[in-house]
Structure 1
């Protein structure tokens, strides 16, 4: 079922939804960008439609709600252990203890990102109970995406059309807003605020300016390919690309002691990644993948090959945020294409070698 709302109707809809749900949406923070007078679009809790940014891609993904930068898992004393709260501690400490479910507004690529997070935390061995506790309370609103954004390559990654795990959609339509409603329990709410009803098909991108060729297979020999060497110098190992990525799931653990004897404190799960110094350090101080090129190889292969071998689809969803945020202007799409070129070259040489041997 589809509905059309005017601005006043959307305001009323969001205000009423915010009474029953925590609404987590992209918000434009004026002047908060990396450069002077540059805005930044990030996710935040909202209670009014005017706060929601519908026209720009968010600089950071939704995932801080499900996998926070720093999440307290439990508090401990000498006598007991108490688990931390759920949604509040994950998205906004001031909201810890709020029992409402959450509506998260996101585009199709990010909805595919949720599928990747679920695969890693829920279907990659024993379920992660801390993730599950939050995930069960989170529902999704699809933001229609009628045109591509800079650096996006979602079409080639197959993530331009949203999976069927959203409650309703929202996008601009002429002077108003169009919504397709999948959750029948929300129909009375839309009927109250809509100016008209009609069939609505959420808009999705059909063509990107950026294209990638994802290799079907990657020979093991390419782990030492010179294609990775340039990133030893270009990449500075800041990890921004993985922190904004909607599908990166890696973390490390930190114990924060409140007392000198260390017997009272808390344990935190903190986002980390293969691109950040110290992540691959093991007991004794040894470290794997010291070179930034080795880290880039690990990340790229995980995103467009290794993950697929386990789950049947690629980890990368083509949102392009890694390209948006990189201070060295490294293009992940270009990395994938260079890898594909190296695979093609290896295949050609290998086939020639086989022909000569025959």
Structure 2
């Protein structure tokens, strides 16, 4: 690992320098209060503070809403020739918060274990991540510390910690070292001292907290199948799927085949996002619906985040605590509040 110091006012110049040589995405304002990861240009505003998590997580740059998986072409009676479509363009995701960093790590495991997803893995192999620490909660919706995301560093290529007028720049990979080469940044010889000063400034408690340890939430959720909490929260749900669209760890998709009407011998297979809260998500052949009620769909979603996938991947939570689902929900349904009520119901407080 190599550590350097960067003056805070030099950050925009460094990011824009990288953007002249590579495709760089950084959170930019979208609308009155939202932010999105947009391509950096000379006029982009680059700052580490004053922005909450983007509307859509940066991990979606690795798993787009729609992508062609392969093209096929048949000649006569021969078996069609299939040509995979893999995106190998290089990109840098900069300004990634720890919650989103953990979200990307979880998606690396989802798409890399078992039957690998070559389309995701191709993008991931050509993506460099510049992450940044959070010393204060981004807003009242945040609960990253409660689910173990706040201290996440594992898959960052470069990690930034801003304190006063300086930024500690730590490179954790060969890709990360490449980004700081030639910048003439001074080496930081007092990394641990800098980190201790930053930790002393960190808000405590950090964001919303559950009343029980994370290790106990899975068993509580598992034991609450018939809890009245589900109905209390779902009765105002529109089943619009916004929570699925913005979640860093939702990865369900549908597959569609399109063929050329002009020749009938060529076409494409395309993957598009799908979401477990949508009314048609669990409809199967013959029209049967395994989860026709919004209550069943919401329960399934919460159980995936705090029970099913946590058991499969041996993680404390498959929710990273970014707060996006609650921010974007038209009905103000918040997964933190659902889980918190399940905890209180288990303790006999509601």
**Fold match (TM-score > 0.5):** yes
Does residue 63 of structure 1 match 2:76? no
320, 335, 339: which one aligns with 2:338 = 335
Deviation readout 1:6-34 (Å, 9 max, x if unpaired): 53x333322332244321221112xx3xx
Give the drift of 1:262.
5.1
Flag the 1:325–1:126 CA change in 2: closer, same or farther, 3 A: same
Does residue 211 in structure 1 map to residue 204 in structure 2?
no
In 2, the alpha carbon distance for the partners of 1:171 and 1:327 equals 34
Q: Is the 8 A contact 1:259 1:265 kept in 2?
A: no
Across the two proteins, how many residue pairs are aligned to each other? 325
TM-score computed with the length of structure 2 as normaliser: 0.83
In structure 2, the residue matched to 1:190 is 183
1:116 and 2:106 matched: yes
C-alpha displacement at 1:341, in angstroms? Answer: 2.6
The residue number in structure 1 matching 2:22 is 21
Provide the C-alpha distance between the structure 1 equivalents of 2:204 and 2:265, rounded to a whole number of angstroms.
Answer: 56
Q: 1:242 aligns with which of 241, 244, 247?
A: 244
| Greater shift in the superposed pair: 55-64 or 291-300 | 55-64
TM-aligned CA deviation for residue 263 of structure 1:
3.8
| Residues 244, 275 of structure 2: 8 Å contact kept | yes
Give CA-to-partner distance per residue, 1:297-337, whole Å, 9 cap, x none.
00111101111111111101111111110000112111011
**2:130 counterpart residue number:** 141
Q: CA deviation at 1:115?
A: 1.6
**CA displacement, residues 34-79 of structure 1 (integer Å, 9 cap, x when unaligned):** xxxx242011221448433522121221122111111111222334
| Cα displacement string for residues 172-196 of structure 1 (whole angstroms, at most 9, x for unaligned residues) | 443454433334444433325x698
Q: Structure 2: where are the runs of 5+ without partners?
A: 76-80
TM-score (norm 1): 0.81
Which ranges in structure 1 are unaligned for 5 or more consecutive residues? 33-37, 88-98, 347-358
Supply the RMSD in Å over aligned alpha carbons: 2.7
1:100 match: 90
Deviates more, 1:130-139 or 1:45-54: 45-54
Quick check: 1:2–1:198 contact (8 Å CA) kept in 2?
no
Counterpart in 2 of 1:132? 121
- Residues 46-85 of structure 1 mapped to structure 2, 5 A cutoff: 46-48=40-42, 50-55=44-49, 56-57=51-52, 58-79=54-75, 80-85=81-86
| Contact 1:14 1:47 survives alignment (8 Å) | no
Q: 1:45 aligns with which of 30, 39, 54?
A: 39
Deviates more, 1:75-84 or 1:58-67: 75-84
